[in-house]
Structure 1
Amino acid sequence: MFLLKAVKEFASGFLQAAKQAWWVEISTHEPQCLYYFGPFARSNEAEAACPGYIEDLDGEGAIGVQSSVKRCRPIALTIVDGQPY
């Protein structure tokens, strides 16, 4: 189990460094936040994870939740009112 985790972390790091990683980007209107979840090796893995992230934010009372899956390299995992958090 430890070896599998180590390999997955290495692969995620490699994908991130190569800018090939897929990320879930979720924005909320209230509070005004931008969240990044990932990295994922495949877009379908990121898509499959979206409902869980959205459900968590809905449960916390977020309003105006929108999501997308994209290849990117976020500068921060959470951005509040335009500022990295």
Structure 2
Amino acid sequence: MTCREPEWSDDDRAWMLALAYYRDTRCPLCGGDIRDCTAPEDDVVVTVPPPRRCLATDELRLATDQHKDKPGAGALLWRTEVRRR
């Protein structure tokens, strides 16, 4: 008789159930809790703060624009490095 260990422990199954519940309760549009973003208008106050600029994306777009017309530009792999001053 062969005795095998289960592939998933009780903790693993609990974590997966929790993840499934979390994903099921997210709004597909905003990513927030579906109960909050679909509540009647008089129950919640929704605000949109001003956008923030991603400096890494700014630099990445500038670098890729400078190389877009060069041969083989589509094969270049780009990344950003962020350092604090």
User: TM-score higher than 0.5 here?
Assistant: no
* Structure richer in strand, relative to its length: 1
| Larger RCO: 1 or 2 (CA < 8 Å, sep 6+) | 1
Please indicate the TM-score interval, normalised by the length of the shorter structure.
Answer: under 0.3
- Greater C-alpha radius of gyration: 2
Q: Could you tell me the TM-score, scaled by structure 2's length? A: 0.25
